[in-house]
Amino acid sequence: MKVAVVGTGAVGSATALSLVERGGTCREIVLLDRDTARADGVAADLRYAAPLSPTVDVRSGGYDDLADAALVVLTAGVNEKTGGATDRSDPKGRLRLLETNAQVFADIVPQVVAVAPQAVLMVVTDPPDPLADLTRCLAGHERVFSTGTLIDSLRFRVQLADRLRVRPRDVQALVVGEHGTSEVLLWSSASVGGILVTDLLAHDGRSPADIRGEVEGDIRYANIAIIEGTGASQYGIGAVSARLVEAVLRDERAVLPVAAYSAAHQVTLSLSSVLGAGGVQQSHEPAMTSEEHAALDKSVRVLREAAERALAIGAA
């Protein structure tokens, strides 16, 4: 199968590398960028690594080369550092990039759909959820989803595992809502081996409220901490993107916190989603406390306002 990555900046390049390293996910990877020399360079670099993995062809190209692509990964646009979204005190967070990146998507999505009308479209560019709403509108079909809060949920698991001194893979923890500052960490259901995390933290010798505040800060602003050290948050989201491509192409029906349009909430947001052929096949709202429900309602309002702005830009 053919997969295309539109945008070969830090995230697009990391996604392409992860696709090559996972091996067997796809047979062909096409890289596109408005900077064709960059796309050519990234493709050439990856081609020299490809022989270490199961057979995969990596090449650069134009929109015409997207014909017959099964899935298109959209990573084009400005990142947090370039777009000025690295202030921890700014409640907008990634949403500060919306206007600029909505204009980028208004240009590229129609070109993608014109040559690959059957492709599933996965939005990675920040802010991914309102951009997925815009992509869905521009594409005219439902085979659209964003990476949502999967990366946030992984960060939640890692942070909890560090404090509990266990393996992150043994921690069950979800983040829902926006991939952004209004995201909702579901503490009430976070567990390790069937034991609630809140019960385990109560025996840590520190105030659970203090630990909770510390963990939430580390997760909500993890991207900023990474950017301050490296200039771009790329490897984690690149690995996440490749994993999601795999789930779609293999029709895994994997249950993951990714974002798709919810008719109930009338906006794209992350819930417990069943991901397989065609994208998100079902979405379910996990069990929440009244406090978590209220936080999710707030996140929905934030996302609806952002989606309205994105759609207005796309219609202009």
Average pLDDT value over all residues in the chain:
94
Catalytic residue among 141, 179, 203, 265: 179
Least confident of 43-57, 239-253, 254-268, 279-293: 43-57
In a domain, 100, yes or no: yes
pTM: 0.95
* pLDDT at residue 3 is higher than 80: yes
Backbone angles phi, psi at 181, to 5 degrees: -70, -20
Closest CA to 176 of 294, 18, 37, 7: 294
Cα–Cα dist 202/12, whole Å: 41
Instruction: Give yes or no for a contact between 82 and 94, defined as CB atoms under 8 angstroms apart.
Output: no
Tell me, what's the pLDDT at 218?
93
179 in active site: yes
Question: Which structure tokens are listed for 223?
Answer: 């991207």
Question: Which structure tokens are listed for 21?
Answer: 């390293």
Tell me, what's the pLDDT at 25?
83
In a domain, 182, yes or no: no
User: Of all helices (H) and strands (E), which one includes residue 283?
Assistant: strand 279-284
Q: How does residue 279 score in pLDDT terms, banded at 50, 70 and 90?
A: very high
pLDDT above 70 coverage of the chain, percent: 100
Instruction: Give yes or no for a contact between 237 and 147, defined as CB atoms under 8 angstroms apart.
Output: yes
Instruction: Count up the domains in the chain and report the number.
Output: 1
Report helix, strand or coil for 221.
coil
In a domain, 65, yes or no: yes
Report the CATH number that the domain containing residue 142 is assigned in CATH. 3.40.50.720
Read off the amino acid at residue 15: T
Report helix, strand or coil for 216.
helix
* pLDDT at residue 265 is higher than 80: yes
In a domain, 105, yes or no: yes
Cα–Cα dist 126/137, whole Å: 17
Cα–Cα dist 277/273, whole Å: 13
Tell me, what's the pLDDT at 204?
67
Cα–Cα dist 30/15, whole Å: 12
Question: What does the pLDDT look like over 172-218, one tens digit per residue?
Answer: 999 999 999 999 999 999 999 999 999 998 776 778 788 899 999 99
Over residues 106-120, the mean pLDDT reads 98
Tell me, what's the pLDDT at 47?
94
Cα–Cα dist 316/103, whole Å: 9
Question: What does the pLDDT look like over 25-82, one tens digit per residue?
Answer: 889 999 999 999 999 999 999 999 988 888 899 999 999 999 999 999 999 999 888 8
Domain span at residue 32? 2-148
Instruction: Give yes or no for a contact between 226 and 233, defined as CB atoms under 8 angstroms apart.
Output: yes
Over residues 133-147, the mean pLDDT reads 97
Q: How does residue 296 score in pLDDT terms, banded at 50, 70 and 90?
A: very high
In a domain, 202, yes or no: no
Cα–Cα dist 152/158, whole Å: 10
